[in-house]
């Protein structure tokens, strides 16, 4: 298993999925190889919940990382879990067209380019 997937599984152990019980782990690799993990964190005010992918990205940004290569998302579910729409947007904003690697416990994996998950995305260029 790659270091990135290992980090995503490790982060998933910290998930606070108290309401959905749907535990997600993510890990993002910066251009210099540094890996930042994230897990979903749910609030009793459900709408304040934060997905694992955005936790990982925001952790990385807050630590000064600026360029990224890959992000992994893991769940212990029969099917793989692709990032939600909000996470796709944030990944696009901060990471551009990175690799998105999905995995579950059965060892199934699938790799996408982010542009395949969010084609014709809105971004800062459209604000000009
Ligand atoms: N969730 C993630 O963390 N990432 C995804 O890609 C999909 C959904 C979380 C949010 C919430 O805590 C739970 O999964 C159920 O939606």
pLDDT in tens, 25-53: 999 999 999 999 999 999 999 999 999 99
pTM above 0.95, yes or no: yes
Q: Which of 3, 10, 29, 53 is catalytic?
A: 53
Q: What is the mean pLDDT of residues 80-106?
A: 98
Residue 61 vs residues 37, 53, 54, 65: alpha-carbon distances, Å: 12, 12, 10, 5
Confidence of residue 65 (pLDDT cuts 50, 70, 90): very high
Which percentage of the chain shows pLDDT scores above 90?
Answer: 99
**β-sheet bridge partners, residue 25:** 39, 74
Ligand 1 pocket, residues with Cβ under 6 angstroms: 17, 20, 22, 24, 40, 42, 49, 51-53, 73, 81, 83-84, 87
Which percentage of the chain shows pLDDT scores above 70?
Answer: 100
In contact, 49 and 40? CB cutoff 8 Å:
yes
Mean pLDDT score across all residues of the chain: 98
128 CA from centroid of ligand 1 (Å): 32
The answer to whether the Cα torsion of 35, 40, 45, 47 is positive or negative is positive
Q: Is 53 a catalytic residue?
A: yes
118 CA from centroid of ligand 1 (Å): 17
């Amino acid at each position: 298993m790659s270091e990135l997937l290992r980090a995503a599984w490790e982060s998933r152990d910290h998930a606070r999925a108290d309401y959905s019980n749907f535990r997600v782990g993510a890990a993002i690799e910066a251009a210099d190889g540094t890996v930042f993990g994230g897990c979903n964190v749910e609030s009793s005010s459900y709408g304040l919940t934060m997905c694992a992918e955005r936790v990982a990205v925001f952790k990385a940004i807050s630590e000064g990382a600026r360029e990224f290569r890959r992000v992994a998302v893991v769940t212990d579910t029969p099917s793989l879990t692709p990032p939600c729409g909000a996470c796709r947007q944030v990944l696009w904003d901060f990471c551009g067209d990175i690799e998105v690697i999905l995995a579950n416990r059965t060892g199934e994996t699938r790799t996408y380019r982010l542009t395949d998950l969010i084609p014709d995305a809105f971004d800062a260029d459209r604000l000009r």
